[in-house]
């Protein structure tokens, strides 16, 4: 017959063993979770696609702000022990209308509209951490300055179209985005400031272009804000409104805004797109919002 003292001793020993087992389980290192992947989706027009003309003729894509951003985001992900995936859907020539309905004139890696492809991407990555950058609207107004003059009616119509269509674009992106998706838009530099160097008419065109750029950028900023989207301030980085101070460039004294456009874009050979320096400035403007 087992004594009461023996039974109490066995129960105490059993409790001690159980406690040791539980303590050991708690102290054992948990199996390391697979590192999360950070995703970056670039949307927009030729700036997002990284379009540039080349000095000797021809052009290239894939060498712009999205690629600059991807390098930095990849480095951040690597430092955090994460994977990284970069997808660029930007299409040169894209307007807000073709982004919504399709028909971008440059070859692109998706069928139909860029927005449809973006929505499908976001829906597939709803649980993931996704950064989305968007630039759109420049091609809605770029055709309004031709032959050294500015068609104000054309520009006003293009700005109105941009505001209306951007609201629809952001509505759909927001609806498709998951809880860990961040969307950042951007405003625009003013390439027509480069006309300053071609005489009195050029100075007039450059001067008129700035308030129109301000109106476009105000429209982009308002629509972004209404959708909870921060706006990378590219216009400020390019000093779009700064006709002073005068600074040197190629033996001339030029307004700061003119000098920056000529130094940071390819307007010296008639190409409105940023060069390597300008694309990095745009990337840095985005990074300030992440």
Q: In this predicted model, what pLDDT tens digit does every residue of 165-212 receive, in sequence order?
A: 999 999 999 999 999 999 999 999 999 999 999 999 999 999 999 999
pLDDT greater than 50 at residue 114:
yes
| Residues 142-147, mean pLDDT to the nearest whole number | 80
Query: How many percent of the chain have pLDDT more than 90?
Result: 80
pLDDT greater than 60 at residue 54:
yes
The count of domains in the chain is: 1
Q: d(Cα 117, Cα 125) in Å, to the nearest integer?
A: 13
| Residues 14-25, mean pLDDT to the nearest whole number | 37
SS3 16: helix
10 Å CB burial of residue 180 (0-12, 13-18, 19+) is middle
**Nearest alpha-carbon partner for 279 in 219, 229, 237:** 237
pLDDT greater than 70 at residue 35:
no
pLDDT of residue 80: 94
DSSP 137-174: -GGGTGGGEETTEE-HHHHHHHHHHHHHHHHHHHHHHH
What does each C-alpha distance from 240 to 2, 184, 228, 245 come to in angstroms? 94, 20, 25, 12
Beta bridge partners of 271: 266
The verdict on residue 272 lying in a domain is: yes
Question: Which domain CATH number covers 99?
Answer: 3.40.50.1110
Query: Which DSSP symbol is given to 35?
Result: P
pLDDT greater than 90 at residue 219:
yes
Q: d(Cα 92, Cα 107) in Å, to the nearest integer?
A: 9
Q: d(Cα 39, Cα 180) in Å, to the nearest integer?
A: 10
pLDDT greater than 70 at residue 158:
yes
Helix, strand, coil tally for the chain in percent (to 5): 55, 20, 30
**How many residues does the structure list for the chain?**
290
The verdict on residue 24 lying in a domain is: no
Q: d(Cα 186, Cα 182) in Å, to the nearest integer?
A: 13
Domain that holds residue 254: 35-287
The verdict on residue 226 lying in a domain is: yes
Q: Please, which pLDDT band fits residue 138 given cuts at 50, 70 and 90? A: very high
The verdict on residue 8 lying in a domain is: no
The verdict on residue 13 lying in a domain is: no
Q: In this predicted model, what pLDDT tens digit does every residue of 221-280 receive, in sequence order?
A: 999 999 999 999 999 999 999 999 999 999 999 999 999 999 999 999 999 999 999 999
DSSP 196-211: GGSHHHHHHHHHHHHH
The verdict on residue 68 lying in a domain is: yes
Tell which wins on pLDDT, 228 or 28.
228
Query: How many percent of the chain have pLDDT more than 70?
Result: 87
The verdict on residue 186 lying in a domain is: yes
The verdict on residue 157 lying in a domain is: yes
What torsion, rounded to 10 degrees, do the Cα atoms 272, 278, 282, 287 define? 170
Q: Please, which pLDDT band fits residue 108 given cuts at 50, 70 and 90? A: confident
Q: Please, which pLDDT band fits residue 146 given cuts at 50, 70 and 90? A: confident
pLDDT of residue 149: 79
- Its pTM stands at 0.87
10 Å CB burial of residue 227 (0-12, 13-18, 19+) is middle
pLDDT greater than 90 at residue 148:
no
Q: In this predicted model, what pLDDT tens digit does every residue of 57-73 receive, in sequence order?
A: 899 999 999 999 999 99
> Tokens at residue 103, please?
């028909």
């Amino acid at each position: 017959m087992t004594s009461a003292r023996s039974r109490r001793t066995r129960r105490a020993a059993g409790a001690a063993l159980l406690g040791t087992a539980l303590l050991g389980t708690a102290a054992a290192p948990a199996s390391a979770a697979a590192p999360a992947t950070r995703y970056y989706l670039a949307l927009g027009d030729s700036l997002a696609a990284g379009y540039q003309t080349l000095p000797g003729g021809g052009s290239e894509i894939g060498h712009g702000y999205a690629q600059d951003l991807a390098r930095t985001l990849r480095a951040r992900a690597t430092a955090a022990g994460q994977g990284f995936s970069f997808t660029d859907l930007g299409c040169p020539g894209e307007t807000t209308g073709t982004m919504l309905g399709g028909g971008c004139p440059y070859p692109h890696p998706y069928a139909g509209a860029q927005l449809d492809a973006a929505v499908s991407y976001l829906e597939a990555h709803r649980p993931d951490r996704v950064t989305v950058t968007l630039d759109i609207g420049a091609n809605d107004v770029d055709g309004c300055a031709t032959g050294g003059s500015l068609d104000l009616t054309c520009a006003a119509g293009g700005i109105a179209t941009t505001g209306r269509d951007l609201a629809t674009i952001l509505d759909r992106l927001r609806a498709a985005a998951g809880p860990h998706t961040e969307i950042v838009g951007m405003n625009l530099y003013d390439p027509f400031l480069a006309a300053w160097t071609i005489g009195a008419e050029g100075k007039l065109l450059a001067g008129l272009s700035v308030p129109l750029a301000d109106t476009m950028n105000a429209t982009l900023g308002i629509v972004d804000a209404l959708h909870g989207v921060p706006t990378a301030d590219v216009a400020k980085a390019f000093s779009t409104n700064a006709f002073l101070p005068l600074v040197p460039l190629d033996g001339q004294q030029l307004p700061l805004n003119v000098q920056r456009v000529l130094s940071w874009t390819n307007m010296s050979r008639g190409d409105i797109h940023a060069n390597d320096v300008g694309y990095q400035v745009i990337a840095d403007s985005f990074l300030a919002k992440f």
